[in-house]
Amino acid sequence: MEQEKQDHTIRSMAKLGSLLTLSEDEKTFQEGKQALPVAINPYFFNLIDPKDPKDPLRRQVVPTRFEQIENRGEDIDPLEEIDHSITERLIHRYENRVAFLVTDICPLYCRHCFRRRFTGTFNGPATRRQIEEAAEYIQQHPKVKEILLTGGDMMTLSDSRIDEMVTIFRTARPDLIIRLCTRTPATWPQRITDDLIAIFKKHSTAPFYVMTQFNHPRELTEEAKIAISRFVDAGIPAMNQTVLLRGVNDSVDTLEELCNKLLANRVKPYYLFQGDLVSGTAHFRVPLIRGMEIEEELHRRLSGLAMPSYTVDLPEGGGKVPLAKCYIEGNDGQGTWKIRTPEGGVRYYQDPPSGD
Ligand SMILES: *Cc1c(COP(=O)(O)O)cnc(C)c1O
Ligand code: SF4
């Protein structure tokens, strides 16, 4: 399965240039050691409109020279994941949950990838020993209730490797909630086979959740919808994490359509991430004030179920913080709160009388 699909993946600018008319900014991207590798699989490539140089899907996968400019405040590891690493592959940043870097490989490399210090670095999948070490750690830390299997994209592993890994974690902690963090429903939906789903069903002592990353409504193809259905039909709830990306989805209309489409396909919009301060991604970031305007308008247009939480993962490992508009204007010291309505009006909310 791995091989089959990787064979026709576009892996060089030369190859890409023979298939698309590259712009000056794309042509001047320099492949090399310091760069996130180029990889675009045939499925995603075929979703790109070759006639539109500003195509939002193209922008996510075709590199430009802007990636090679470092800007103020940027860092290769702003979330300080390395400092929070327990082992080479296990990040313990929040007390009750850990992230395990299953592999650095993805079916395609997103040019906005925030984990680019690790992604595509040719480290490959975690070894059995690395998985066992992580499992031992979690066994010794019962406060850890959830594990995020992330990367890279965990679904680039073969079925048997996924089975082996899940077995090890489940054996150590049958009660552990496992989040399957994968972009394959958007980038390689054919990977989500009944055989793959059967592996998770076999290990159902505690829930799995699938955490997808759809950034644009056009990524929700018929194939993608089938991939999502397979998870949800098997009792694996689907949650989506969108990255707010300039020139891709920094428009209220686009995000409204995306969130409604996700919800209609049984995917809960979970996070809308403000871009992390990762080196070489400034051209993708949206100014905070604009992000907050978008969030405010989305809140007016979307149902509570369709509304993601607009969030930033702060630099220097500050952690995730919600950026949603605050409607509280103040309080008079007597327990009366002045609160704005989404339409711009004002209401007062009274605290209960103090006492016992
Ligand atoms: C984002 C993240 C999590 C999960 O956070 P939630 O807010 O629960 O989705 C866990 N560990 C690390 C290191 C993370 O970056
Ligand atoms: S699929 Fe995820 S890990 Fe892989 S390049 Fe894209 S954002 Fe990064």
Measuring from each residue's beta carbon to the nearest atom of ligand 1, which residues come in under 6 Å?
91, 93-94, 97, 99, 148, 320
Splitting the chain (356 residues) into consecutive groups of 10 residues, what average pLDDT does each group show?
64 97 96 88 98 97 94 92 94 97 98 94 95 98 98 97 98 98 98 98 97 98 98 98 98 98 98 96 97 97 98 95 96 95 95 81
Angle between helices 159-172 and 128-140 (to 10 degrees): 20
In the chain, where are the structural domains located? 13-322, 327-355
Please, is 111 exposed, middle or buried when counting C-beta atoms within 10 Å of its C-beta (0-12, 13-18, 19+)? buried
> CB under 8 Å to 239, separation ≥6 — which residues?
209, 210, 211, 212, 267, 268, 269, 270
- Taking the alpha carbons of 86, 87, 88, 90 in that order, is the dihedral positive or negative? negative
Which residue in 115, 161, 170, 173 is the catalytic one? 115
- Is-catalytic flag, 113? yes
pLDDT score for 1: 44
Choose the CATH number for 13-322 among 3.40.462.10, 3.40.1710.10, 3.20.20.70, 3.40.950.10.
3.20.20.70
Neighbours of 1 (CB within 10 A): 15
pLDDT score for 11: 96
Paired tokens of 28: 């001047």
Which residue in 59, 110, 153, 250 is the catalytic one? 110
pLDDT score for 356: 61
Ligand 2 pocket check for 116: Cβ under 6 Å: no
Ligand 2 pocket check for 281: Cβ under 6 Å: no
Ligand 2 pocket check for 115: Cβ under 6 Å: yes
Annotated binding residue 113:
yes
- Is-catalytic flag, 327? no
pLDDT score for 3: 43
Annotated binding residue 106:
yes
Paired tokens of 26: 């794309």
Which residue in 49, 94, 175, 202 is the catalytic one? 94
Contact indicator for 222, 60 with CB cutoff of 8 Å: no
pLDDT score for 141: 98
- Ligand number, closest to the Cα atom of 112: 2
> What separation in Å is there between the alpha carbon of 167 and the centre of ligand 2?
25
> What separation in Å is there between the alpha carbon of 93 and the centre of ligand 1?
8
pTM for this structure? 0.96
